[in-house]
Amino acid sequence: MSPFLFGAPTRRMMGIFHPAGPSPASGAAVLICLPFGHELLRSQRFFRILCDRLARAGHPALRFDYYGCGDSLGEDLDGELDGWAEDVGAAHDELRRLAPGRPIVWVGARLGATLALMAANGGNSTPTRVLAWDPVIDGTAYLAELRIAHVDAVARSYCVPDPRAGKQLAARSNAGPAELLGTELSPELCRQLTALNAVNLRVSARHDTMVLADPDDAPVRQWADAQAARELPVQFAPFTHTLDWTADPNPRSAMVPAEAVQRLLAELCE
């Protein structure tokens, strides 16, 4: 595992490369498009273990922080969807340099899955396959979900909960800027998320896309079915797991659910 900086001098990003181990397999390289904000913090350990397992199976992997996120340069308020989609393309080019000659598969989770779909559909970097895990297809609903989790976290942080604080937080507009679960969102990011919906989020016709989501997630399933109805190469695959993207660790929310690791490895190492 090797951390390093990459990208343009004005947009340096932190990457962590997991080189392939001494395995007889010589499979695809894997680019991990991580979630955003608190969901990234909740899943960091999961994706580290996934990348370690991929590398041992002969698949080099790269995970990275978008500009303005994690250990990359920039501030919270520098983050916005179009720039992050370009970051995915830059990370693809870096992985191609680190693992020359291998096909590259993208795995995105939550907002990272959305960014992978955006980058694949509108950028110059072409993966051989995209796995979109629990993609965000409705930005307004996503902001509302984060706001509910934020209000709950603030309420639980007080020894004596103040109901007025929760009401004030819940009443704030999504126009931003706003802090949700410890991450500040710029007005531009809030605007972009509000405009994100199932109509304007498309999959690329240049490669296969697999959408992994809970079978009870009707909006995502309907969106995937609509993409397939347009004769695009997309498949919906039911995927039930116990990783709660926003909740703090508790007995009912595993940090690294074994079934999720095994399922992703099976899809990537086939």
Q: What residue segments make up the domains of the chain, in order of their start? A: 2-138+199-268, 139-195
For residue 24, is pLDDT > 60? no
Continuous H helices in the chain: 38-56, 81-98, 111-122, 139-157, 163-171, 187-195, 218-229, 258-268
Instruction: Identify the bridge partners of residue 237 per DSSP, sorted by sequence position.
Output: 212
**Banded pLDDT at 157 (limits 50, 70, 90):** low
* pLDDT given for residue 176 in this prediction: 46
Give the Cα separation of 47 and 256 in Å (integer): 9
* Higher-scoring residue by pLDDT: 153, 196: 196
Mapped onto helix, strand or coil, the DSSP state of residue 129 is strand
pLDDT of res. 23: 65
Instruction: Please write the tens of the pLDDT for every residue from 113-134.
Output: 999 999 998 877 889 999 999 9
- Give pLDDT, residue 173: 53
**Average pLDDT over every residue of 232-253:** 80
Could you tell me which of 86, 70, 79 has the C-alpha nearest to residue 34?
A: 70
Q: Please count the other Cβ atoms lying within 10 Å of the Cβ belonging to residue 132.
A: 30
Give domain 2-138+199-268's CATH number out of 3.40.50.740, 3.30.70.1090, 3.40.50.1100, 3.40.50.1820.
3.40.50.1820
Does residue 57 have a pLDDT over 70? yes
- Average pLDDT of the chain is 89
- 3-state class (DSSP) for residue 76: helix
Tell me, what's the pLDDT at 175? 45
The per-residue pLDDT for 161 is: 58
Determine the Cα–Cα distance for residues 152 and 119; give it in Å rounded to an integer: 33
